[in-house]
Amino acid sequence: MNFALTDEQQMIVDTVRAFVETEIYPHENEVERTGHVPPELGQEIARKCKEIGFFGCNMPEEVGGAGLDHTSFTLVERELGRGSMALTVFFGRPSGILMACNDEQREKYLLPAVSGEKFDALAMTEPDAGSDVRGMKCFARKDGDDWVVNGTKHFISHANIADFVIVFIATGEEDTPRGRKKLITCFLVDRGTPGFEIREGYNSVSHRGYKNCILTFDECRLPSAQILGEVHKGFDIANDWLYATRLTVAATSVGRARRAFDYALNYAAERKQFGKPIGANQGVSFKLADMITEIDAADLLTLSAAWRLDQGLPSNREIASAKVYATEMLARVTDEAIQIFGGMGLMDDLPLARFWRDARVERIWDGTSEIQRHIISRDLLRPLGA
């Protein structure tokens, strides 16, 4: 077992961390205050990301990406997790689902997404279909060689900056042991398609400036050429995406927790009460000990899951474990960091309250903590026939 980073991986960590500190940190307070990222700032971040060779770094070299393996890309996401998501979203990482594009779609969607000419967003969640994605009501009916779509998606991250959206839509039903369930097909839908509208969603307490959007389809006609993959086989490509996104959430949670911890550690060493640094008191020092132990555990769990993906080993349970542990760890660490700062931890002068608020959503999106525990327990019990 070798836990050391390679020279290349250490270079990745150093480069991305420096980028976040110089290009992201200076703009965070303004984004937090306004809840908005000026388009020119987003474009500038994307341009500088291209300059250092990291735009599309998660995509294979044959399509213009950097071809990073899962472990190296997890390190990228961990470092990006230190910064505001409203800003790091422009550090382009196209959805890996686009690798399912056919030749025509490759030229229109995949290659422009990797080069940064176009941004994509991914839409699955609906008002009545969150964890139960097979319960989605957004439906497409066949009409000749076209599909006519009606329905609504919501909580669709950064669709406000997307040139096209990868949308999962019900296209039929099938009988299952648990009753009739929807058959799902994946479509590529361009902004501006008649009958398709992207509008700003809800105001969120978490990740201000990182917009969630509502998508509506009203007799939206899509040619069969817009299908990504095969009809009724949307879940086949969705499962690969879910692996990657859950690992990303775990990694970003680790990065954000380390930033919060650094604030708390330095404050504990500098802040004096009763004639000595507050870190000299076990009430504070033991908090720090617990915080760093949990952060390191989440980090290792996350990187181990990424390593298993690189080795082609079964990873579903391990990724679910990393996601549930890292996101819940982040909640505990940010809360304890605020406790160490006392009242100042809740003031806008520091980013700790933001970290605390941002942490809350990590246990919900990309699969709730309850869904992760379901995945883990099912993986353990099914081989035993339970």
Percent of the chain with pLDDT over 70: 100
Q: Do domains 7-93 and 243-384 have the same CATH topology?
A: no
Within the chain, where are the H helices? 7-19, 25-34, 39-51, 70-80, 85-88, 103-105, 111-115, 234-270, 282-310, 316-341, 352-362, 369-381
Contact 264, 332 (CB under 8 A): no
pLDDT digits (tens, 9 = 90+) for 82-96: 999 999 999 999 999
Residue 268: the pLDDT is 98
> How far is Cα 168 from Cα 183, in angstroms, rounded to an integer?
10
Chain segment 58-79, per-residue pLDDT in tens: 999 999 999 999 999 999 999 9
Instruction: Tell me what pLDDT residue 280 has.
Output: 96
Task: For residue 234, give the nearest of 142, 171, 140 by alpha carbon.
Answer: 171
Looking at residue 155, its pLDDT comes to: 96
Which residues does 286 contact at the CB level (< 8 Å), separation at least 6? none
**Phi, psi at residue 60, to the nearest 5°?**
-65, 155
> Does domain 7-93 sit in CATH 3.40.630.30?
no
| pLDDT at site 239 | 77
Q: CATH fold of 120-232, please?
A: Butyryl-CoA Dehydrogenase, subunit A; domain 2 (2.40.110)
* pLDDT on residue 180: 83
Q: How much is the average pLDDT of 151-168?
A: 97
- Is the pLDDT at 154 greater than 80? The verdict is yes
- Residue 236: the pLDDT is 85
pLDDT at 29: 96
- pLDDT tens-place string over residues 1-46: 888 999 999 999 999 999 999 999 999 999 999 999 999 999 999 9
Taking 90 as the threshold, does the pLDDT of residue 199 lie above it?
yes
- Token match 């969607």: residue? 109
CA separation for the pair 319, 139 (Å, rounded): 31
Q: Which amino acid is at 215?
A: L
Domain ranges for the chain, please list them: 7-93, 120-232, 243-384
Mean pLDDT score across all residues of the chain: 95
Q: Place 373 in a pLDDT band, splitting at 50, 70 and 90.
A: very high
pLDDT category at 174 given cuts 50, 70, 90 is: confident
pLDDT of res. 171: 96
Of 117, 96, 64, 85, nearest to 209 (Cα)? 85
| Choice between 254 and 243, residue whose per-residue pLDDT is larger | 254
CA distances from 75 to 78, 87, 263 (A): 5, 18, 21
Domain at 243-384: CATH architecture: Up-down Bundle (1.20)
Which three-class secondary structure state does DSSP give residue 133?
helix
Please determine, for residue 243, whether its predicted confidence score (pLDDT) is greater than 80: no
Rounded to an integer, what distance in angstroms lies between the CA atom of residue 289 and that of residue 323? Answer: 22
Mean per-residue pLDDT, 277-284: 97
- Where residue 244 falls among pLDDT bands split at 50, 70, 90? confident
Q: Which residues of 332-360 are buried (b: 16+ CB within 10 A; e: fewer)?
A: bbbbbbbebbeeebeeeebbbbbbbbbbb
pLDDT band at residue 304 using 50, 70 and 90 as cut-offs:
very high
Kindly tell me if the per-residue pLDDT of 242 is higher than 80.
no
